[in-house]
Amino acid sequence: MAYEQIGKLRAGLLVPLCLAAAAPFALALVNQPAPPIGEPIAPITGTGPSDQAKIALGESLFNDVRLSHDDVIACSDCHRLDLSGDDGRARSTAADGGQLDFNAPTVFSAALNFRLNWRGNFRTVEQQNEAVLLDDRLMNTSWEELLPKLRSDPDYSRRFVTLYGAAPGRTDVLDALAIFQRSLITPNARFDRYLKGEHDAITADEEHGYQLFKAYGCIACHQGANVGGNLFQKFGIFRNPFAGQKNVTQADLGRFAITGVESDRHVFRVPSLRNVAVTAPYFHDGRTASLADAVKIMAQSQLGRQLDQRDADLIVKFLATLTGEFRGQPLTSATDRLPQ
């Protein structure tokens, strides 16, 4: 495979496109680790927030159904921490029993993204959490309903007074949830160890897949510490992925549904590829559970390339090296263990 030729034809075109899309948001990237010299991907370093008491409080809230109206659902129902930080379904179940518009992204390492949610609606974890709590299709609660429930719990009252100096309140609830979520980074992926000099941490095939990933131009939008998550891009630069689809939904419109700006039609926040091998199904609508198929779709729609099965499989092997650890254990795929 002529890596250099592919890189000149495809990556050379897409790097300027992606960098142009990212330019207004450069300030969001300053806190991410710098990649090793000559490498576009940086290893995850550090452990996130260090206040263990607030992390524990946030985790309690994250798992508590009382954060929803009528105590029916917790954050962890769509973001299973014992699995891969998602629910393994194409689209999650709404509070009203229907189906939500978007695939639930993993919560692991999500705080490293420059914007949150598929359309990049929110700049901070706190903003996103409040929107989820109040959305009538998600947690469907209100602060008037939620806070009295927390204040009536002696354990919550004690912990909030100890940590924040007051009974549970809106700002402190959002802070505790955000601190917990910022702790959900997944270090020690085999590829991170490779970047740090442990060259036998990945196999020859996996390294070959990484070279293909760079040569085809995937790296133009998937780089940095989170291997993506740091810019917006149109889904369908070279080929329309919605062609032949009976109904183009509001979710398919991407940021256009928020901004009304025509250039935002089908534009989404580029997803992180951290832990991608264990977070199927893929895309904003969960359209495929096959990572190899997802790679082929991206090659066609974003790069204008038709990948053969061999190259797709090698790239998938590389992507599997991006699976990190949570509390010392590698993440596990939800699709392997949950009923569909």
User: Can you give the pLDDT of all 340 residues of the chain as single tens digits?
Assistant: 433 343 444 444 444 444 333 333 333 333 556 666 779 999 998 778 889 999 999 999 999 999 999 999 999 999 999 889 999 999 998 888 889 999 999 999 999 999 999 999 999 999 999 999 999 999 999 999 999 999 999 999 999 999 999 999 999 999 999 999 999 999 999 999 999 999 999 999 999 999 999 999 999 999 999 999 999 999 999 999 998 888 889 999 999 999 999 999 999 999 999 999 999 999 999 999 999 999 999 999 999 999 999 999 999 999 999 999 999 999 988 666 555 4
Shared domain for 136 and 10, answered yes or no, is no
Q: Return the ∠ at Cα 241 (arms to 315 and 313), rounded to 5°.
A: 15
pLDDT of 2 reads: 39
Q: In the listed set 142, 166, 182, which residue is the last one of a domain according to the structure?
A: 182
Shared domain for 136 and 218, answered yes or no, is no
Q: In the listed set 182, 205, 237, which residue is the last one of a domain according to the structure?
A: 182
Shared domain for 154 and 201, answered yes or no, is no
- Number of structural domains (the chain) is 2
Shared domain for 191 and 292, answered yes or no, is yes
Structural domain boundaries enclosing 37:
3-46+186-336
Joined tokens for residue 204: 């020859």
- State the alpha helices, DSSP H only, in 188-322: 190-195, 204-216, 256-259, 291-298, 309-320
Spatial CA neighbour of 134 closest among 108, 170, 106: 170
Shared domain for 332 and 207, answered yes or no, is yes
pLDDT of 248 reads: 87
Shared domain for 14 and 66, answered yes or no, is no
Q: In the listed set 138, 154, 182, which residue is the last one of a domain according to the structure?
A: 182
Shared domain for 164 and 98, answered yes or no, is yes
Shared domain for 245 and 315, answered yes or no, is yes
Name beta bridge partners: 325.
330
CA 78 to chain centre: 13
pLDDT of 36 reads: 67
Kindly report the pTM of this predicted structure: 0.88
Shared domain for 105 and 177, answered yes or no, is yes
Q: For residues 90 and 288, is the Cβ–Cβ distance under 8 A? A: no
State the CATH number of the domain containing residue 222. Answer: 1.10.760.10
Q: Return the ∠ at Cα 107 (arms to 72 and 296), rounded to 5°.
A: 115
Shared domain for 297 and 322, answered yes or no, is yes
Q: For residues 95 and 138, is the Cβ–Cβ distance under 8 A? A: yes
